[in-house]
Amino acid sequence: MARSILVNTLIRQLAIFINLVSKILILVIIGRLYGPEKFGVYSLVFVIYNYLYVFSGIGLKNYVFYQYSKEKHTKLHTDFNNVLSIISFISFFLIFFDLLVLLISGLGKEFLLFSLILNIGIIFDTLSEIFFHFLDSQERMVESSLLRMGANPISLIFISLTILILKFNFIFIFVGFLLSKILIFVLTIIKFKKTFDFKFRITTKPNFKKNFYLFKETIPFALNNFVTLGLNRIDILILSIVANKHAIGIYNSSLSLILRLNSIIRPFINAIFPRLNYYYHNNKIGFKNLFNNSSRIILTSGVYFFLVFFLGGEKIVIFFWGEKFYQSIPVIKILSLMIIFKFINALLVDVITISGNQLKRAKLIFYAFIFNLFLNIYLIPRFSYIGAAYSAVFTHILIFFGLIILLKRLKIKIDFDIFLTAKLVILVFLIIFFNRLIIHLDFFLYFVTLTTTFTLTCILFKIIHKNDFLKVLTFFNRQKKLS
């Protein structure tokens, strides 16, 4: 049992890593080949797609995983078929609704066609995700992870082939995405049929009354996902209204790289969550020690990535996007300021979740979303993508202080090491000074030197200890034992 949990965890992390690399390669290929304006079109199409995707599942994915894990698959025929039917109905409705909105918006026939092609994929994407969660609920995480692992690499292959064969025709990027989603769906269906012995079907008349209670339980999940997505992407929608596609491309090229850091910090926080939860309810001293150690590692990681993007921003932009995106350099430097807050906020949010105050957490994130919305409305017309970058930074700082105040009101005692903070501040100034000596180095040698210097300085200042890396690895083993 323990071995299977470890294998499941490792394969899931491998799937996340492969998909992360594939996503970055897709973005880089499109950005380099087509430049900021076309990349802005691509970004806006995908933002619309992501908003529709959030509501297409209305939280039913969570329902399938948590509820079906309590039953054997042989008892789930009728309910699962009805869930599939509801998902299909909602997906078709959202595609039709989006089509009407885009027709009214006046974004043009070409953009309408791009969006329609990609949005058709919502049906296949959402249904595939429901099947993945069904497999997970029946302890088939290896199979679902392997299917997930293939999603973005297959998209990368399709897009590369369509670009090369069809002479860089931009529309076929979206055709490539659609074909990859259809292929993953077909492979998922084949695997599902081989694994389980019951037939599934999608009816044209889903029984909404039968599963009406689902909506009460799952809509909060969808709303929370919508607000979280809004914090990261509402600025692109506003840029599309008051600026232009070029500004979207410049801004999103930097934002996309910053947001990919979630895939680095989130697995670590997920790994310590069970132990943190256990200590919170059973051992306050253990909770305090684990929180202090975890926050030290997370803060140090946040400072490292801040320095990487702030000091090496120009090298990163030129390496990934090319000189066409030189205007992204100040954007990535500004956005780097939010990395530290973004990292530590992820830990603080989980602490509030552990305390059972999810509703208060959701309210705080919602208020931050509203703040971000109005700040974008004020700054973007005046400063374009630079205003959007500052808005993102100010919002994450606001969330940090909001979380600290909320934790105090809930009487949850957490302590940040003042000496650690002072050491990190001194470290930042030392690295900034040292950066003058190595800034002339080429891309890879520069970041190897920067990373080595940062690590050695952290050890010298006793910010990180020699056994910290071992602790990080054992967190995953502890999660396995707790499971």
Q: What are phi and psi of 211, to 5 degrees?
A: -110, 25
Residue 423 to residue 269: CA distance in whole angstroms: 23
pLDDT, tens digit (0-9, with 9 covering 90-100), for 144-167? 667 776 666 777 777 777 666 665
Residue 9 to residue 40: CA distance in whole angstroms: 36
Count of alpha carbons within 13 Å of 161, Cβ hemisphere only?
Answer: 11
Helix (H, G, I), strand (E, B) or coil at 198: coil
Backbone Cα Rg of the chain: 23
Residue 35 to residue 323: CA distance in whole angstroms: 9
Tell which phi-psi region holds residue 411, choosing left (phi > 0), alpha (psi between -120 and 50) or beta. Answer: left
Asked if 248 contacts 119 with a C-beta cutoff of 8 angstroms, the reply is no
Residue 245 CA to its chain's centroid (Å): 23
Length of the chain: 483
> Of the candidates 122, 115, 132, which has an alpha carbon nearest to the alpha carbon of residue 93?
122
Residue 53 to residue 181: CA distance in whole angstroms: 13
pLDDT, tens digit (0-9, with 9 covering 90-100), for 276-305? 888 888 888 888 888 888 888 899 999 999
- The tokens of 147 are what? 């299917």
Residue 137 to residue 57: CA distance in whole angstroms: 17
Helix (H, G, I), strand (E, B) or coil at 57: helix
Higher pLDDT, 437 or 70: 437
pLDDT, tens digit (0-9, with 9 covering 90-100), for 161-208? 766 666 567 888 888 888 888 888 888 888 777 777 666 666 556 555
Lookup result for tokens 């105090």: 408
pLDDT of residue 168: 62
List CB contacts of 283: < 8 A, sequence separation 6 or more: none
Helices (H), 138-170: 141-165
Residue 152 to residue 170: CA distance in whole angstroms: 18
Asked if 43 contacts 252 with a C-beta cutoff of 8 angstroms, the reply is yes
Residue 170 to residue 97: CA distance in whole angstroms: 25
What single letter denotes the amino acid at residue 343? Answer: F
- Out of 11-20, 27-36, 198-207, 217-226, give the one with best mean pLDDT: 27-36
> Of the candidates 228, 247, 222, which has an alpha carbon nearest to the alpha carbon of residue 237?
247
For residue 376, what pLDDT band results from cuts at 50, 70 and 90? very high
- The tokens of 295 are what? 């926050």
Asked if 482 contacts 278 with a C-beta cutoff of 8 angstroms, the reply is yes
Question: How much of the chain exceeds pLDDT 90, in percent?
Answer: 28
Residue 344 has pLDDT above 90, yes or no: yes
Residue 262 to residue 477: CA distance in whole angstroms: 21
Q: What are phi and psi of 155, to 5 degrees?
A: -60, -45
Residue 32 to residue 453: CA distance in whole angstroms: 31
Quote the pTM value. Answer: 0.82
Lookup result for tokens 């999810």: 358
Residue 477 to residue 5: CA distance in whole angstroms: 10
Residue 249 to residue 38: CA distance in whole angstroms: 7
Higher pLDDT, 386 or 30: 386
> Of the candidates 325, 353, 403, 133, which has an alpha carbon nearest to the alpha carbon of residue 224?
353
Mean pLDDT of 410-428: 84
Residue 389 has pLDDT above 50, yes or no: yes
- Helix, strand, coil shares of the chain, percent, nearest 5, are 85, 0, 15
Residue 318 CA to its chain's centroid (Å): 24
Residue 381 has pLDDT above 60, yes or no: yes
Helices (H), 196-261: 212-242, 245-259
What single letter denotes the amino acid at residue 1? Answer: M
> Of the candidates 268, 264, 32, which has an alpha carbon nearest to the alpha carbon of residue 159?
32
Question: How much of the chain exceeds pLDDT 70, in percent?
Answer: 75
Identify the helix (H) or strand (E) that includes residue 343. helix 339-354
Domain positions in the chain are 2-210, 246-482
